[in-house]
Structure formats: structure tokens, C-alpha cells
Amino acid sequence: MTSSSPDKPSLYSIENPNIPTFFTDKLIDVISSGLDNNKSYYEVGEIFEEVKKEFEKTPNMPIPQQSSFNEAEKIPVGNNLREFSLREVLKKNRELNLELKTLELELKTIKEKFELEKSLSQNIKLKNSDEKSRNSNESNNQIKINGESSEPDKGLKAIFFIIVGIVIIIAIFMISQYNPYL
């Protein structure tokens, strides 16, 4: 089997010279897609005829050539992928459906976690807002004893804000663990 007659060169794409010749490309296409020959294998002659048929449809293309003796064209050369394709397609379809169901469950879980984290984040914001307004009210309502204002111990305030900061950092860390998009 050759890509053209002895007096005509094989052709390839000038725009993309890194791809195979047109003949090789068509040969690969026929072998990888299989033949409608109702057999689990294909023969050299069947492949040649299919490739030749494709080139005869296209004008200005060199027609592939074949030389055969002692029925060499009947040599089986591989499994006919078209025979196996339906079985493989059904198997792959089952695998993909299983993967899709798994992904749907994971997506549902992620959405639920995201909603929970969103709710927690809003609760934290509300608590922080309430604390700020409470702190503001406390500072406005300071009691003066003996001419001096009595403020809560500044050390306790600092510890309180450190703890609040740590809680916020932990919440952000937990949110980022469940939602990789943050």
C-alpha cells in the first residue's frame, strides 16, 4: 500500500507541515474509527479500499496504490474498533454517569457548605457590629467617680480584642478550607 502512484508525490498541508501527509492522516482515521465490515477484525485490503474511496471523493489528490499477490490483501491486521465501539461507548457512558452523579453530590455538598459559611460570616459580622455599638454605648455612658471617669481595665479590653481577632481568623480559615475559591 502506497500513498500515491510512482509519478505523483504524496501531499501534506503547507500551512501545517508538522501533521502527517493526507494519506497517513486518512489511514490513521480509518484504523482508529474502524470499518463497517461486520467482523471483529479488518484486513489490509479493506483498509486500503476505504482510504482509496476517501481520496477518490477529493479532487486533485493522488490516489493511493496497492500491490498484492497470494491474497496478501486478506491478511487480518487489527481489531475492528467499530465492532467494539458500541460496547465501549456504553461502558464509558456508565462510567461518565457515575462520575457525573459523584460530581453533582460534591457540588451539592460544596453549595451547602458555602451557604453555611456565608451564614456564619454574616453572623460574625452582626456580632462584630453589635459589639462595636455596645462598646460605643459603654464609652458614652462612663461613670465619673471622684472627678475621674471609670473605664474598664484596658488590659482586659486588649485580651478581648485579641480573642475576637483569633476567632475571626479561625472562621476565615475554616471558610477557606471548605471553599477553595476564596
Cβ-contact 49, 64 below 8 angstroms: no
**Number of other CB atoms surrounding residue 165 within 10 Å:** 10
Cβ-contact 28, 20 below 8 angstroms: yes
Is 42 within the bounds of a domain? Answer: yes
**Number of other CB atoms surrounding residue 24 within 10 Å:** 14
Is 112 within the bounds of a domain? Answer: yes
Same domain, 164 and 116: yes
Is 54 within the bounds of a domain? Answer: yes
Residue range of the domain that includes 173: 107-138+149-178
Q: Classify burial at 6, counting beta carbons within 10 Å of its beta carbon; exposed 0-12, middle 13-18, buried 19 or more.
A: exposed
Q: What is the CATH number of the domain that holds 25?
A: 3.30.70
pLDDT, tens digit, 9 for 90 and up, residues 135-162: 665 555 544 444 444 454 566 667 777 7
User: CA 9 to CA 20: how far, in whole Å?
Assistant: 14
pLDDT, tens digit, 9 for 90 and up, residues 12-68: 788 887 888 888 888 888 888 888 787 888 888 888 888 888 888 888 888 888 887
Is 28 within the bounds of a domain? Answer: yes
**Of 24, 62, 68, whose CA–CA distance to 46 is shortest?**
68
Is 165 within the bounds of a domain? Answer: yes
Is 95 within the bounds of a domain? Answer: no
Confidence of residue 71 (pLDDT cuts 50, 70, 90): confident
Confidence of residue 115 (pLDDT cuts 50, 70, 90): confident
Is 55 within the bounds of a domain? Answer: yes
**Number of other CB atoms surrounding residue 68 within 10 Å:** 13
**Alpha carbon 167 to chain centroid distance?**
36
Is 143 within the bounds of a domain? Answer: no
pLDDT at 76 > cutoff 80: yes
Same domain, 5 and 61: yes
The tally of domains found in the chain comes to 2
Q: What is the pLDDT of residue 145?
A: 46
pTM: 0.42
